[in-house]
């Protein structure tokens, strides 16, 4: 197993991480499957999966709200914990914690189902979280939605104690869309 340095700047340099526009955080590609698949109702061939390293730091503590059609599996490599907020198509919401304290309910691996919205937040006292993510089928830039607006707030506000309009707007961040 690769031994990563503890300093997030060293991790970013060692892994060649760069800023991820709109979502935030730092990332680099790990690989892409050679196996090709098609989604139901779509004849376009896609790689069965692709994977990246993803890093949250105090400078980039939030992965802002975005939607993917694919399953997205996140695996903790080092650091953490990270709060995961997910929002399903039927109004269901969930809060999970990616981390190494399994006795307190944290998980080393979190699966976010396709056709869901998600946002991540680094715990405030945490220096960083390095994750590997696997998107199945692969992530492509034309198959993602970033940000949301009033319709999202109307659908999810109040569905959990933490799901206040103020907090949901924080998860949307700079990608709030006034007309949606």
Per CATH, the architecture of 8-175 is what?
Sandwich (2.60)
Q: How far apart are CA 38 and CA 75, in angstroms?
A: 25
* CA–CA distances in Å: residue 102 to residues 39, 108, 109, 161: 35, 8, 11, 23
Which tokens belong to 63? 């992965």
- 34-80, pLDDT tens digit by residue? 999 998 888 899 999 999 999 999 999 999 999 999 999 999 999 99
Q: Is the pTM here over 0.85, yes or no?
A: yes
Spatial CA neighbour of 82 closest among 62, 59, 112: 62
- 81-138, pLDDT tens digit by residue? 999 999 999 999 999 999 999 999 999 999 999 999 999 999 999 999 999 999 999 9
Q: Is 41 helix (H, G, I), strand (E, B) or coil?
A: coil
Q: How far apart are CA 27 and CA 55, in angstroms?
A: 6
């Amino acid at each position: 197993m690769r031994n990563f340095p503890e300093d997030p700047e060293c991790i970013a340099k060692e892994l060649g991480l760069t800023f991820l526009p709109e979502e935030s955080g730092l990332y680099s590609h790990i690989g892409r499957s050679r196996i090709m698949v098609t989604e139901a109702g779509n004849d376009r061939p896609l790689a069965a999966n692709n994977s990246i390293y993803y890093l949250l730091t105090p400078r980039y503590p939030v992965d802002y709200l975005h939607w993917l059609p694919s399953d997205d599996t996140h695996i903790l490599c080092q650091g953490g914990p990270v709060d995961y907020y997910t929002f399903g198509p039927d109004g269901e919401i969930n809060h999970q914690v990616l981390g190494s304290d399994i006795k307190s309910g944290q998980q080393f691996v979190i699966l976010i189902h396709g056709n869901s919205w998600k946002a991540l937040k680094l715990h405030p006292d945490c220096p960083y979280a390095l994750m590997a993510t696997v998107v199945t089928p692969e992530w492509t830039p034309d198959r993602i939605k970033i940000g949301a607006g009033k319709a999202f707030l109307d659908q999810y506000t109040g569905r959990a104690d933490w799901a206040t309009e103020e907090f949901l707007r924080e998860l949307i961040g700079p990608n709030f869309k006034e007309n949606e």
